[in-house]
Amino acid sequence: MEIALFSPSSLFSEEDDHTATREEAISETQETYVERKHQFPGMELVVREFSFHQLNANLLWPGTFAFAEWLVQNRSCIEGRHAIELGRSNEIPVIPHIKHTWGEKFPNTDPDWDLIIASDILLYVKQYANLIQTISFLLKCYKPRDRKVVPPPGNDAGCIVLPWPAFLMSWRRRIGKEDEQLFFNGCEKAGLDVQHLGSRVYCIKPIGNDG
């Protein structure tokens, strides 16, 4: 007869044990986060960051700050745009939208977002094909909400003019150069043009679309 790996009685803890365990969990949770001050353009934010993973979850990534600064400096090029953000995590706020994951059939056959934004989403190389599929659909099947809407003309002030539609992405998460290039090569094969705007911010649009 083999020896049991655990006693069934261990599945039914006493009330005191349960209370102690709960208190230990609360104490442990309190010790797993730090509050850091982060400088954003025009403001300072105190953000509570949980250290569940030292390199991945629950931390503000470098691209967040770079993208925020770029958006503030180029505010005029995104004013009045109808935007959607692509993310790559599955925390609680995302759960209702899990069915809209990359590569899956999009619920809206006539997407009307003229600006797609994303920050630091190129971490999972195996998902590049699905990501590119979603980006291609949103860009190539774009239908303006108002047929009378006309993209604003460029100006002489040196302001960046984004095409309609456009995918605006910040990427500062350093992975292997070869892996990173797989995404940009995949975009080109899918008929998308990639332009580096500086500060590791990229504008992606359908090839031939200069609107």
Q: What is the pLDDT of residue 167?
A: 95
3-state secondary structure of 46: strand
In the chain the beta strands, taken as DSSP E runs, fall at 33-40, 43-50, 83-85, 115-119, 166-170, 192-198, 201-206
CB-CB contact of 170 with 119 (8 Å):
yes
Of 74, 155, 153, 152, the closest CA to residue 117 belongs to 74
Q: What is the pLDDT of residue 7?
A: 39
Domain spans of the chain?
15-60, 80-147+159-211
Secondary structure letter of residue 89 according to DSSP: -
CB-CB contact of 195 with 202 (8 Å):
yes
The CA-atom distances, in angstroms, between 132 and each of 11, 66, 113, 198 are: 47, 23, 16, 21
Q: What is the pLDDT of residue 3?
A: 42
CB-CB contact of 72 with 42 (8 Å):
yes
CA 72 – CA 40 distance, rounded (Å): 9
- Full-prediction pTM beyond 0.75? no
Mean pLDDT in order along the chain per 10 residues (211 residues) = 40 48 49 72 74 57 75 87 79 60 75 90 88 93 70 58 91 77 94 90 87 61
Beta bridge partners of 84: 116
The pair of structure tokens assigned to 115 is 């600006």
Domain 80-147+159-211, CATH among 3.40.50.720, 3.40.50.1980, 3.30.9.10, 3.40.50.150: 3.40.50.150
- Work out the angle between the directed axes of helices 177-189 and 128-140 (0-180°, nearest 10): 40
User: How many Cβ atoms sit within 10 Å of the Cβ of residue 183?
Assistant: 23
Q: What is the pLDDT of residue 156?
A: 47
Q: What is the pLDDT of residue 124?
A: 83
Who's near 176: CB < 8 A, 6+ residues apart? none
